[in-house]
């Protein structure tokens, strides 16, 4: 008897192994070919003077790192990259507000949700094109509206002082909807009993928000801050589309833009790879730092 049951089991196990491996083969191939091998190439390229125009590819040690770290434009780009973190607290705040509104089951909240997500689901290209029109210096809606109340609006896209705020406003506008969806999912997970108990104790709505809702939202706020930071630090498409060369005085260029320009503009693949690799390590360090700091403010439950 034991022999008859053991044999089919072993057979099933073998088939299960084969099928299991077969099912995960495509994605494993994808990751090896288009992520792991590229990362290897990137690390190698960073230590060479790989140049697609001069056709060089020799080992140069740390030269690339010295070169970009002493490049004025790299540091301007670094400053602009940090600037792109500004949208995060704003869309978190508005996202929470709209999630609270949505959670109250106000009339039309499903329709509102769809409308809120329109910017998020649309392509950045279409949004930038639209933004260029709305923020047009002379004829844009924004400056016309400002003009109507007697304010001369700035040259949003041309003035080095205003291009970054314009991008920031667009990113906030784009991200509010998706943030509120995350927050709404988190709100729905808070058990009603907490509020019922607080109500019996006579707690005011404001107190309930700060004592119950907000602490229980901190894991979601943390998640969105980490994901948002990693994304914001890599802002590129907006800069590439809004400006032709990083903006006047390089006023909008981010590090990803710098890398792209070096690699595909002037063919300095080695230098660009080194800068990208260095930047990736900085992003990783900042992410780890956030996880460390999170212990101080993120509610972890019982």
Partner 1 sequence: MTRTNVAARRTGTVIAFSLMLLGALTMVLPFLWMVTTSLKESRLVFTFPPEWIPDPIDWANYLEVWDVAPLAVGLLNSVIVTVLVVTVGTFSSTMAAFAFAKLDFPHKDRIFVALLATIMIPMVVLIIPQFLVFVQLGWIDTLLPLIVPGLLGNVTMIFFLRQYMLGLASELLEAAKLDGAGYLRIYWSIFLPLCKPAIAANVIIVFMATWNDYIGPLIFTNSPENSTVQLVIASMSSYYKDQTDYPMIMTASVIAVLPVILLFTLMQRYFVDSFAFSGIKG
Distance of CA 194 to the CA centre of its chain: 33
> Dihedral of the CA atoms 166, 180, 210, 106 (nearest 10)?
120
Q: Smaller CB distance to partner 1: residue 134 or 198?
A: 134
Interacting residue with partner 1 among 87, 119, 228, 247 (CB under 8 A): 119
Binding mask 199-238 for partner 1 (x = CB under 8 A): ------x----------xx-xx--x------x---x-xx-
Q: How far apart are CA 52 and CA 223, in angstroms?
A: 40
Report the site for partner 1 in 166-185 (rule: CB under 8 A). 173, 176-177, 181-182, 184-185
Report the site for partner 1 in 89-108 (rule: CB under 8 A). 94, 97-98, 100-102, 104, 106-108
Interacting residue with partner 1 among 188, 207, 285, 291 (CB under 8 A): 188
Secondary-structure percent of the chain, ordered helix, strand, coil, rounded to 5? 75, 0, 25
Q: Is 65 helix (H, G, I), strand (E, B) or coil?
A: helix
Distance in Å, CB of 86 to partner 1, minimum? 18
45 is an interface residue for partner 1 by CB under 8 A:
yes
59 is an interface residue for partner 1 by CB under 8 A:
no
162 is an interface residue for partner 1 by CB under 8 A:
no
Q: Is 121 helix (H, G, I), strand (E, B) or coil?
A: helix
Whether the Cβ atoms of residue 279 and residue 255 lie closer than 8 Å to each other: yes
Q: Smaller CB distance to partner 1: residue 70 or 123?
A: 123
Distance in Å, CB of 203 to partner 1, minimum? 13
Report the site for partner 1 in 266-295 (rule: CB under 8 A). 269, 272-273, 276-277, 279-280, 283-284
144 is an interface residue for partner 1 by CB under 8 A:
yes
DSSP assignment of 182-234 equals HHHHHHHTS-HHHHHHHHHTT--HHHHIIIIIHHHHHHHHHHHHHHHHHHHTT
Find the angle CA(57)-CA(60)-CA(61) to the nearest 5 degrees. Answer: 135
Distance in Å, CB of 161 to partner 1, minimum? 21
Report the site for partner 1 in 61-90 (rule: CB under 8 A). none
Distance in Å, CB of 178 to partner 1, minimum? 9
Cα 251 to Cα 233, 257, 272: the distances in Å are 16, 12, 20
Q: Pick the stretch among 22-30, 60-68, 69-77, 83-91 that binds partner 1 (CB under 8 A).
A: 22-30
Interacting residue with partner 1 among 10, 66, 69, 133 (CB under 8 A): 133
Whether the Cβ atoms of residue 290 and residue 229 lie closer than 8 Å to each other: yes
């Amino acid at each position: 008897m034991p022999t008859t049951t053991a044999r089919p089991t072993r057979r099933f196990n073998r088939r299960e192994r084969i099928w299991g491996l077969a099912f995960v083969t495509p994605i494993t191939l994808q990751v090896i070919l288009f992520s792991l091998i590229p990362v290897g190439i990137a690390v190698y390229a960073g230590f060479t003077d790989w140049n697609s125009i001069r056709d060089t590819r020799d080992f140069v040690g740390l030269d690339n790192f010295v070169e970009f770290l002493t490049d004025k434009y790299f540091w301007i780009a670094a400053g602009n990259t940090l600037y792109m973190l500004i949208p995060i607290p704003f869309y978190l705040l508005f996202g929470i507000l709209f999630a609270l509104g949505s959670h109250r089951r106000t009339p039309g909240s499903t329709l509102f949700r769809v409308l809120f997500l329109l910017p998020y689901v649309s392509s950045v290209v279409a949004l930038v094109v639209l933004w260029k029109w709305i923020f047009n210096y002379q004829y844009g809606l924004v400056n016309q509206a400002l003009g109507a109340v007697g304010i001369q609006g700035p040259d949003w896209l041309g003035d080095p002082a205003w291009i970054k705020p314009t991008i920031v406003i667009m990113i906030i506008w784009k991200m509010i909807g998706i943030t509120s969806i995350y927050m709404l999912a988190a709100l729905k997970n808070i058990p009603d009993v907490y509020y019922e108990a607080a109500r019996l104790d006579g707690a005011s709505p404001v107190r309930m928000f700060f004592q119950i809702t907000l602490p229980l939202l901190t894991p979601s706020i943390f998640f969105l801050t980490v994901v948002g930071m990693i994304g914001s630090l890599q802002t590129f498409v907006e800069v590439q589309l809004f400006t032709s060369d990083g903006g006047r005085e390089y006023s909008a260029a981010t590090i990803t833009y710098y890398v792209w320009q070096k690699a595909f503009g002037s063919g300095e693949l080695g230098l660009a790879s080194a800068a990208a690799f260095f930047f990736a390590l900085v992003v990783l360090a900042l992410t780890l730092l956030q996880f460390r700091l999170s212990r101080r403010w993120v509610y972890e439950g019982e």
